Copies of this chain bind each other. A is one copy, B any other.
């Protein structure tokens, strides 16, 4: 029977040799790479004690050699050739933290072809090239680990792939982009409009100079595809995600949602239905009584509903140098804990073994279903009943209707509606017709409501 070298030699300490280190080659030494170097150095004794053997950085590839040398301090050889790291015989595991999709794909595939395990925090790479990369890794019997690609500080990939394996997962819903959550929290807490909140996020370093990737929901969509694939045992299908960002969200709607007892969050939702899977990233109303409504600032929170475990939730920082390093190093420890000679892909890349993956269809927008919030500018406060009755005639089940308490200066009365769950196709038809209703005095706003029950 195989025994861990450290453990099995215990009764004979005099014969014990130092266990072989896991040798790491790192491609990229920006924020995440530098954090990984720092944490590996700071906690090396604890990490080796947990892993059963030391984890050693043996080589770094970086574009800026001088900056890289400053970070690693002359202790680790630095090259400007990522392929040298990806293919070097002294490297057991390649950590890819350079980012991007084109060249990173080549480096990762080269590492796999040379029998090396790969650890990456590159969600875009996996969302776009995941199927190809995982297939190559299966063929070569190596692991591709990516805990750092989703909600970095939170071991959510591990929770889905290993912690909740008994469950049929019904849905995953999460605040998985810290930038937009920071902006939404500012809009709610300080009554700012989107532009002002974005400017503050940029000033504080929570948003990039070009924030499109975050605020248009692309980053969240990358993460959602990885979560959904692990939850349902389907392939990674970025193109099938309905994506809507927060750029057109009005401060008024944040206030009206609060009046109704909700907060607005940018949620990634993956939900299994009889006919297929819903995959969507959208701003949505969450009941203020719900734990998810209290995931504020730049924090991330992910809920998973399993048929046995019920609802579990995972919360933590979704970005940051050492926060991402925490995930990258956990992946390295996982690899180190496999025996050197028998190292293999213990946990399948997407939770399910390849033969058990299913080709669940992704539902088109019209077939998805949820409750809705509507804000309808009307000519007179008395129109509230007419709007409600009209919606019911359009097959939109109305749960609650009221007037906005505090309208924007200069705007007229606003009818607020909460619906029961309704198919998006029905809702879209009704919204189109409602816009032409004689009582309606301006653009109707519709947002989804997620009860997460």
Q: A residues engaging B (CB < 8 A)?
A: 1-4, 6-8, 10-11, 35, 39-40, 42-43, 45-52, 115, 138-139, 141, 147, 153-155, 158-159, 161-168, 233, 291, 294-295, 306-317, 320, 322-323, 325-330, 333-334, 337-339, 341-348, 351-357
Contacts of A45 in B (CB 8 A): 356
Contacts of A48 in B (CB 8 A): 356
CB-based contact B333/A162 at 8 Å: yes
Nearest chain-B residue to A311 (Cβ)? B316
CB-based contact A2/B312 at 8 Å: no
Which of B39, B153, B167, B354 interacts with A10 by CB under 8 Å?
B354
Nearest chain-B residue to A320 (Cβ)? B310
Contacts of A147 in B (CB 8 A): 163
Q: How far is the CA of A355 from the CA of B345 in the complex (A)?
A: 27
Nearest chain-B residue to A347 (Cβ)? B337
Contacts of A165 in B (CB 8 A): 47, 50-51, 329-330, 333
CB-based contact A153/B291 at 8 Å: no
Known: A323-B309, A325-B308. A353 touches B164 (CB 8 A): no
Known: A46-B233, A158-B158, A309-B153. A344 touches B3 (CB 8 A): yes
Q: How far is the CB of A53 from chain B (nearest CB, A)?
A: 9
Contacts of A158 in B (CB 8 A): 155, 158-159, 162-163
Contacts of A308 in B (CB 8 A): 35, 39, 43, 322-323, 325-326, 329
- Between-chain CB contacts (< 8 Å), 23 pairs: A1-B343, A2-B344, A6-B355, A7-B141, A10-B138, A43-B167, A46-B352, A47-B165, A47-B166, A50-B348, A50-B351, A52-B348, A147-B163, A153-B310, A153-B312, A155-B312, A163-B330, A166-B325, A166-B328, A294-B294, A311-B316, A313-B313, A315-B315
Nearest chain-B residue to A289 (Cβ)? B294
Number of identical monomers bound together in the oligomeric complex: 2
Q: A49-B357, A313-B315 are in contact. List 17 more A-B contacts (CB 8 A).
A: A3-B141, A4-B344, A4-B348, A4-B353, A6-B355, A7-B345, A43-B307, A45-B356, A49-B353, A49-B355, A158-B158, A291-B295, A308-B323, A308-B326, A311-B316, A312-B315, A342-B342
Contacts of A316 in B (CB 8 A): 309-313
Q: How far is the CB of A361 from chain B (nearest CB, A)?
A: 18
CB-based contact B353/A7 at 8 Å: yes
Which of B155, B294, B354, B355 interacts with A159 by CB under 8 Å?
B155
Which of B42, B312, B333 interacts with A314 by CB under 8 Å?
B312
CB-based contact A8/B141 at 8 Å: yes
Q: How far is the CB of A408 from chain B (nearest CB, A)?
A: 29
Q: How far is the CB of A141 from chain B (nearest CB, A)?
A: 4
CB-based contact B51/A330 at 8 Å: no
